[in-house]
Amino acid sequence: MAKPHLLSAFLQDHKVASIKSSSVFITKYICKRMDFDKEIIIVEYGPGTGALTKKFLKLMNKGSKLVIVETNEKFSSYLKKINDKRLIVVNDSAKNIDNILERLKIKKVDYVISGIPFSMTSDEEKEIIIKKTKGILDSNGVFFVYQFKKEIEDDLEKCFMIKSKKLEVRNIPPLIIFECEK
């Protein structure tokens, strides 16, 4: 299966945030802040064509797991072609993450990374996703959120402590990366 075209997905699906994959700068920044030396469980919301997904798989040890949750069926189908037993691709909404993990018999996760365009998400859905994310994270878990707009900051602060915030201007368009802790 050919890699889905981001521009056509962007024009057809309001949940697709960009016409371009996240840059290597976003990927490097997030990965440097994660501990890949131990067995970890990562959940990625809205992986698109898998720029971060592929890097995580390269860095994860063999006992780790990566659960990706993607609403776009074309992206999910494309990502299911990645042949790696540590990868679990789920075509569903992040608002169902508690049920998804329960089906997978995963109690807590170490990292959640979100590329969901929260500025294009209803307030209700945004609140559900953020609260459920807090619920699935281990006590030392970290929630990374990258966005084009900083408006999500107030919503994040209701459930998390924002450890760091970085504007990555080398990404086109620039993105803000929030690193949040319970």
pLDDT surpasses 50 at 130: yes
Most trustworthy range by pLDDT among 2-6, 84-88, 170-174: 84-88
Q: How confident is the model at residue 165 (pLDDT cuts 50, 70, 90)?
A: very high
pTM for this prediction = 0.88
Q: Would you list the domain boundaries of the chain?
A: 6-181
pLDDT at 24 exceeding the cut of 80: yes
Integer Cα distance of 53 and 146 in angstroms: 14
Distance of CA 80 to CAs 29, 40, 53, 144, Å? 25, 21, 11, 23
When the pLDDT of each residue in the chain is averaged and rounded to a whole number, the result is: 90
Classify 6-181 by CATH class.
alpha beta
pLDDT band at 7 (very low <50, low <70, confident <90, very high): very low
DSSP secondary structure string for all residues of 88-150: EEEES-GGGHHHHHHHTT---EEEEEE---GGGS-HHHHHHHHHHHHHHEEEEEEEEEEESST
Residue 10: predicted pLDDT: 38
User: What value, to the nearest 5°, has the Cα angle with vertex 20 and ends 168 and 154?
Assistant: 45
In the predicted structure, residue 8 carries a pLDDT above the cut 80? no
* Rounded mean pLDDT, 150-166: 96
Per-residue model confidence (pLDDT) at position 17: 42
Q: What is the mean pLDDT of residues 81-99?
A: 98
**Mean pLDDT of all residues in 91-105:** 98
Lowest mean pLDDT among 107-111, 146-150, 154-158: 146-150
Where does the pLDDT of residue 4 fall: very low under 50, low under 70, confident under 90, or very high at 90 and above? low
